[in-house]
Every structure is written in structure tokens, then in C-alpha cells.
Copies of this chain bind each other. A is one copy, B any other.
């Protein structure tokens, strides 16, 4: 977890924070169930140390509601269904609401067919994808999720933002907790850029471009993250758009790059694939083999001063450590209280 620089923080209990967030959305017309889910997903990310996907998103979600981009009473409909697939029109639902619906649908399809594929058209900020893949993994599924969003990251070779920082999450059941990879396709996240700006810490070379498209390490100038591994990261982000947005006939990048009226509205598309582990191998055997592999990797000689961690392990430790009390910036907490009052 990166420290929040130059910010006073206060301690809040996670359940109290979740109740506050839930109230904010209930006040704006969301059902108790949906509001509690949105709160759970955001507080989950906060607990795991992903503040950029935590409760700092709440004011933006409220703004989406105000502008009509987020529908608090969505009617999420399957537009198309096979024994293994579903395309859900999310009707501008809050991301967590649409994504959990999609996750449940993908898992149900996987239970019937071995694999299940849910496409989500026209949701809003999907929040931390790891929440959904881990929830599938806890039910015995391997899960792969991707989301498509607006151009924020440079396309490799370009001096401008062309693709999103498209996240990819893959989770499998583990011996205890799921193993859950949750990564962006950029070198650094937008959140890290913001934190560097706040603290004045120079960025590593190759992390970002300035608004004019020139490479920079100056944290005050950096505004466009560069793709992870050059063409690899931007290729991955391009594929996320092709799969999530073009299969749902709801393009985001082209609309934004062409500055069409449609692109003024916030929207995201996403997909989740679930695989029923037990269809292919005895689930306990699978979990044992994951445990065996984890133990083998942890026995490798570690680089000086480092510890060998599994995907999701740092997040789980953060969540455990912070389960009684979360540090929240005073200013943000005041803003949340004002929104709920």
C-alpha cells in the first residue's frame, strides 16, 4: 500500500465505512441490496490497499448519477443467451451491480457447460475486477475478467492516450484463499501518478508521458501512463476493447478518439469467463496442487530484502491487518459524510 502523502487520515471501522457508503447510494434511489454491494466492493478494495479503487470513487459515482450516466434502478437484461454464454445489457448499472450479476451468470453457465462466458454492455466503472474473480474462485471456478474503458494510457509508439489502462484479473481456487492476479496493462496506475504528484517523488523512466506527449519523470507533468512492456500492454488493452466493447457493439475508444457526442457519457464494458474446475479435475486435487506449487515457489531463494508473495497475498494481508480500522483521509471522510447527510 502506498502511503497517502500530505494528507491527514483518520481511523474508520470498515463496517461503519460500508454503512456510510451504502447510505449515500440508498439516498440517491439505489436499492439496499445494490447499495450494499457497491459499498462492499469499494471497501473491499480499500481494505486490500487498492485505494484508487476504494471509497475515493464514491464522489465520482455520485456525479455519474447526477449526470444520468449511472442508473440507480437498472433493469439488467440478458440480450442473448446460450447454454454457455450470456450478453447482459447492464442498463447503466453501477459497475459492481452489473459485474456481480455477470459473475453469477458466468458461474451458472459454467456449472451447466464447463465454461461460462458473460459479456456486460454499458455498465459504469467496474471497480476492482479481483472482487468478482475471487468470488467465483471461492465457489470453485477459475475466472478471467477484463474491462474496457476510455483512453487514458498511451498506445505504444503514440504521443497521446489511445487505449485504457485495461485491467485483467485471473483467479483460481487456492488451498486457503484464492490465488488472484489483478493487474492493469500500464506500467503505473493513474493512482500512482496522482500519488507521485502529491508527494513530489520523481517517476521511474518509462512510466509516463506529459500532457504534450513527451516522456517525463517529473511527477507534476506526468499525466499519461505508458503501457506495460510497450506493445504488450497496449496490445492487451486494445484486445480488451475488441472483446468487451466490440462484441457488445458498444465501442468506447473509437467514440472517444473521434470525440463523438456519445463519448461525453461515462460507460464501461466488461467480460468474465468462469471455468468449473470440478468438471476437469477433482477440486481438492486442484487446490492441493495449487498449494504444492505455492510452497515450491516460496522455497525459492529470495532476492535480498524481499519476500516471495503470491498474487493477491499482499492484499489479503492488508485486509487482515486493517479489518478493525481503516485509515481514511479526513477530507475524503468529511466529503462522504456530507454526501450521506
Partner-B contacts on A (CB < 8 A): 80, 82-85, 87, 113-117, 119, 142, 144, 155-160, 162-163, 170, 172, 179, 181, 183, 187, 213, 228-229, 231-232, 235-236, 238-239, 241-243, 246-249, 251, 253-254, 257-258, 273, 275, 277, 279-281, 285-286, 289-290, 292-293, 296-297, 299-303, 306-311
CB A279 to nearest CB in B, in angstroms, measures 7
**Which of B144, B156, B293 is the one whose CB lies under 8 Å from A251?**
B293
Interchain CB contact under 8 A, A246 and B286: yes
Contact of A119 among B280, B286, B300, B302 (CB under 8 A): B280
Given A229-B183, A280-B247, is A114 in contact with B302 using a C-beta cutoff of 8 Å?
no
Known contacts A142-B243, A275-B117; A251/B157 CB under 8 A: no
The residue that A159 contacts in the complex, of B84, B179, B251, B300, with Cβ under 8 A, is: B300
For the complex, what is the distance from the CA of A307 to the CA of B159, rounded to whole Å? 11
**Is there contact, CB below 8 Å, between A285 and B249?**
yes
Could you tell me the distance in whole angstroms from the C-beta of A210 to the nearest C-beta in chain B? 13
Check A242 against B303 for contact (C-beta < 8 Å): no
**How distant is A298 from chain B, measured CB to nearest CB, in Å?**
9
Of B160, B247, B308, the residue contacting A157 (CB under 8 A) is: B308
Whether B213 pairs with A301 at a CB distance below 8 angstroms is yes
Q: Provide the residues of chain B in CB contact with A213, threshold 8 Å.
A: 301, 303
Contact A85–B115 (Cβ < 8 Å) = yes
- Residue of B157, B163, B254, B311 near A235 (CB, 8 A) is B311
- Report the bound CA distance from A175 to B158 in whole Å: 22
Question: Given the complex of chains A and B, what is the CA–CA distance between A258 and B332 in angstroms?
Answer: 50
Q: What is the CA–CA distance of A156 and B297 in the complex, to the nearest angstrom?
A: 10
Which one of B116, B158, B231 lies within 8 Å of A303 (CB-CB)? B158
Residue of B nearest to A229 (CB): B228
Main secondary structure of the interface of A (DSSP, over half): mixed
- B238, A179: Cβ atoms under 8 Å? yes
CA distance A156 to B235 in the complex (A): 23
Instruction: Using A296-B253, A311-B239 as known contacts, say yes or no to A158 and B114 having CB atoms under 8 A apart.
Output: no
Q: From the candidates B114, B162, B258, B297, name the one contacting A82 in the complex (CB within 8 A).
A: B114
Known: A85-B114, A160-B301, A247-B277. 17 other contacts (CB 8 A): A82-B113, A82-B279, A83-B84, A115-B273, A142-B242, A155-B300, A158-B308, A159-B301, A179-B242, A183-B236, A238-B310, A246-B290, A246-B293, A247-B275, A247-B280, A247-B281, A257-B299
A83 to B: closest C-beta gap in Å: 6
Task: State the CA gap A308–B80 with chains docked (Å).
Answer: 36
Contacts of A235 in B (CB 8 A): 170, 181, 183, 311
Residues of B within 8 A of A187 (CB): 229
Instruction: Tell me the complex Cα distance, A113–B109, Å.
Output: 11
Residues of B within 8 A of A114 (CB): 82, 84-85, 117
A289 touches B246 (CB 8 A): yes
Whether the Cβ atoms of B293 and A254 lie closer than 8 Å is yes
